[in-house]
Amino acid sequence: MTEWHPTRGGWVRAIDMPPSPSVLRQLRAAGLDVRVIDSPEGYKLFLTGVPEHYAAQAQLFIDRSLSAGADENPAQQPGGGHPPSSGTLIQGVYPATFFLIAALVLIHIWLSLGFSDISAWMIVDPRWWPDLELDQRLDALSELLRSGRLFNLLSPALIHFSSSHLAMNLIALYVLGGPLERALGPVRFVASCVMLALLSNLAQALAGPFSFGGFSGVNYGLLGMVWVLRTSAKADLFARIPPAMIYFSIIFALAGAVGLTDAMGLNMADTAHFSGLLAGVVLGWAVREKKGAKGPE
């Protein structure tokens, strides 16, 4: 049996013929991101997006799938191995996404039970700094920095004003976060979320008012990253994200940017959404340009 070899961004093995579409569907249904490469040396199968500790199990499952064909379940063959649990959130392949979801839920419960005042989590307490002109908002942000309360630059992204508000953001985080975490790794994924939170919070604070909150600015940033990376060598990781979700969200952000949501009577942090989307596009472009996002040579 042909051996697997490590390559930039994953593992590769030679194959005589490309797998049938049904075999590829079977592999992708098991949470494995595989692509066929037609190289001068012949056909090759490229595996990416699987954590290193699952690599051997994933490779065995692929080998058995190629041998058995699409009509058999390789996991049921003697010694055939089982598909790795790389496609599920709860089993820990997406630890950063799971941590963020759990943190948002716990913070919402904490605030709902009255253990902390939600105004203290906003970038500036709107009770002391109500709707202001731009120069006054800049003064309020300067006072925030001088006081050393840097956590308030991040904390508005962590609060939600209702359970439905939280639920919508958790769904978006689950759909977008898993594939991005696989593409970037947990550390770079969390760093991206922090950067998007800071940028979208600051943009909304400058636009005013200060009474805003929610993870949607970050989610729009993640959406921007996905939009860009769908055209990269890591496109397979994002194949399961519904295109309609991407396009509808982008149109909605643009509608907010030109004031249509205000005209419809929707009280939303439109500046946070649009600035998060733009920041995500820039971050996605930066990731795509890095060598690690270009796949095998």
Query: pLDDT tens across 38-48, in order?
Result: 777 778 887 87
Contact 45, 62 (CB under 8 A): yes
Contact 294, 48 (CB under 8 A): no
Q: How far apart are CA 104 and CA 43, in angstroms?
A: 45
pTM: 0.66
pLDDT of residue 277 exceeding 80, the answer is: yes
Q: Of residues 21 and 49, which shows the higher confidence score?
A: 21
Contact 84, 78 (CB under 8 A): no
Domain limits, the chain: 5-76, 89-293
pLDDT (mean) for 81-110: 71
Helix axes 163-184, 95-112, angle to 10 degrees: 160
Q: How far apart are CA 197 and CA 219, in angstroms?
A: 9
Q: How far apart are CA 105 and CA 112, in angstroms?
A: 10
pLDDT in tens, 126-164: 776 666 677 777 888 888 888 888 899 999 999 999 999
Please give the pLDDT value at position 251.
Answer: 83
Q: How far apart are CA 242 and CA 167, in angstroms?
A: 18
Contact 180, 226 (CB under 8 A): yes
Quick one: 97 exposed, middle or buried, by C-beta within 10 A (0-12, 13-18, 19+)? buried
Residue 64: its H or E element: helix 55-68
pLDDT (mean) for 75-99: 54
The answer to whether domain 89-293 has CATH 1.20.1540.10 is yes
pLDDT (mean) for 103-113: 96
pLDDT (mean) for 119-130: 78
pLDDT in tens, 214-257: 999 999 999 999 888 877 656 666 767 777 777 788 787 777 76
pLDDT in tens, 253-275: 777 767 776 666 666 778 888 89
Residue 100 corresponds to which tokens in the numbers above? 């963020």
Please give the pLDDT value at position 81.
Answer: 44
Please give the pLDDT value at position 32.
Answer: 76
Please give the pLDDT value at position 96.
Answer: 92
Q: How far apart are CA 63 and CA 56, in angstroms?
A: 11
Please give the pLDDT value at position 91.
Answer: 37
Class of domain 5-76 (CATH, top level): alpha beta
Mean pLDDT of the chain: 78
Q: Of residues 202 and 70, which shows the higher confidence score?
A: 202
Contact 20, 70 (CB under 8 A): yes
Please give the pLDDT value at position 198.
Answer: 95
pLDDT of residue 199 exceeding 90, the answer is: yes
Taking alpha carbons only, the member of 33, 2, 34 closest to residue 15 is 2
Please give the pLDDT value at position 242.
Answer: 75
| Percent of the chain with pLDDT strictly greater than 90 | 28
Please give the pLDDT value at position 267.
Answer: 66
Q: How far apart are CA 270 and CA 261, in angstroms?
A: 8
Please give the pLDDT value at position 233.
Answer: 57
Please give the pLDDT value at position 236.
Answer: 63
pLDDT of residue 27 exceeding 60, the answer is: yes
Supply angle C-alpha 100, 165, 260, rounded to 5.
120
